[in-house]
Amino acid sequence: MEEFRMRQVIMEAESLQGYLTAKDTAYLQKLDGLYNEAMRQFVRLDAANTTAEKEQAEAEIIASYDVMGKLLQEICKEVPQLKVYSFNTEHESHAEASRVMAKLRSTETGHNEFIYYTQRAFEMLFKLAYGGRHEDNKNYLISKTPVTVPVQNYAVHKISDIDHKIENTVMCVMLRGALLPSMIISKEIEEYSSHGYVTPFALFKIKRDELKKLDDMQYVLNLDMSYFNLEDLDGKDLIFADPMNATGGSLITVVKYLERQGVKPRSISCFHVISSLKGALCAARALKNCSVYTLWMDPALNADAYILPGLGDAGDRINGMDEPEHPRNMIQLIADYGATIAGLYRHQLRAIENVVLQNK
């Protein structure tokens, strides 16, 4: 009887660590110390019995975050590949990012509301990466309106010409939690393209071994459950849209595998609601022509490689929990999104369907 062997690629945490510089490591250690101090204040806040005790703990927490925020901003200035929304936009936009992040972090934010704020987050990130400037060339969109009296009416809208930035892109989906965010970014590209460009999709089944700790983490790429064409990726601008970037391990594993197969991306852009400093630095150091766009940067990771303070399991909060005995695959997730999502992202779903069927 022939034995079935799953084709997979594994990357160890030790390999990931090797991309960081000595200065990166020093920064990470400093932020770990600052965050440990903040956590001591979390304990004081939880145990506060009086208004005065609560106010004192809150003041200490705010002071700690101010220090960490300034340090993160200094680090990002030294690494121009890191694009943090509140560090790279005008001051008037920062409150919007803070409100969106506060809602996404909140334990009171339910499933539908979480999806709504996720969509807002990725729309903001798209504008950060591709937003037109006043001096850009312009395109004109002529729209036929529902008004037909006294004649059929049309409207003209002038938009920045960013076709050259977006019409060479491929969406690279690291499955489950990244599926809906990838469709959101693809939809934004379609809307901003003067030709209605719909991105091709490449689908990768990758996960980290949850039984491992941060220092011995493994990232496993399952090739038998992935769907992509190497020739469609070569010379392209690859986009990864994932709610969170904790360690950068999954992203780096996928890109390094593609490079070993002869794929030479023109550029790599990563979009995250939250990225840890470590994950962002690893991606920027490991990958050529890589930009990391993140709505918010968090300072630390715990021993299980979860972002601190984080927002929980973003994949579960977007897609809902799986039954342990019946984990859903990508097609089942799409079905669960329902008619509203299917109608809104119909072109993206057709592109995904094509790549899956062609790779059967």
Using pLDDT thresholds of 50, 70 and 90, give the confidence band for residue 108: very high
Using pLDDT thresholds of 50, 70 and 90, give the confidence band for residue 325: confident
Measured over all CA atoms, what is the biggest interatomic distance in the chain, rounded to whole angstroms?
76
pLDDT cut 70: percent of the chain above it: 95
The Cα 36–Cα 236 span in angstroms is 42
Q: Is the pLDDT of residue 5 over 70?
A: no
| Tokens (6 digits) for 306 | 């979860």
Q: Is the pLDDT of residue 1 over 50?
A: no
Using pLDDT thresholds of 50, 70 and 90, give the confidence band for residue 153: very high
Work out whether strand 267-276 and strand 244-245 pair parallel, antiparallel, or are unpaired: parallel
Q: Provide CB contacts within 8 A for 180, sequence distance 6+.
A: 115, 118, 318, 319, 337, 341
The Cα 79–Cα 28 span in angstroms is 14
Q: Provide CB contacts within 8 A for 221, sequence distance 6+.
A: 8, 9, 10, 204, 205, 206, 253, 254, 257
Instruction: State the DSSP string of 134-193.
Output: TTS-EEEEEEE-S--SSS--EEEEEEE--HHHHTTEEEEEETGGGHHHHHHHHHHHHHH-
Backbone angles phi, psi at 111, to 5 degrees: -60, -55
Work out whether strand 267-276 and strand 169-174 pair parallel, antiparallel, or are unpaired: unpaired
pLDDT cut 90: percent of the chain above it: 65
Report, as an integer, the average pLDDT of 134-145.
81
Report, as an integer, the average pLDDT of 92-113.
92
**pLDDT tens per residue, range 174-217:** 877 899 999 999 999 999 998 899 999 999 999 887 777 877 88
One CATH from 3.40.50.620, 3.40.50.1580, 3.40.50.2020, 3.40.50.300 for 81-358: 3.40.50.2020
**Residue 179 contacts residue 204 (beta carbons within 8 Å):** no
**Residue 166 contacts residue 187 (beta carbons within 8 Å):** no
Q: Is the pLDDT of residue 281 over 80?
A: yes
Ordered by start, the domain boundaries in the chain are 81-358
Mean pLDDT of the chain, nearest integer: 90
pLDDT of 28 reads 96
The Cα 271–Cα 77 span in angstroms is 18
Using pLDDT thresholds of 50, 70 and 90, give the confidence band for residue 245: very high
The Cα 192–Cα 197 span in angstroms is 9
The Cα 297–Cα 73 span in angstroms is 10
Work out whether strand 290-298 and strand 82-84 pair parallel, antiparallel, or are unpaired: parallel
CA 100 to chain centroid: 15
Instruction: State the DSSP string of 287-317.
Output: STTEEEEEEEEE-EE-TTS-EES--S-HHHH
Report, as an integer, the average pLDDT of 90-98.
90
State pTM to two decimals.
0.90
Q: Is the pLDDT of residue 141 over 80?
A: yes
The Cα 242–Cα 317 span in angstroms is 13
Residue reference for tokens 């973003």 = 314
**pLDDT tens per residue, range 326-355:** 777 766 777 777 766 777 788 998 888 888
Q: Is the pLDDT of residue 160 over 60?
A: yes
Residue reference for tokens 């979860």 = 306
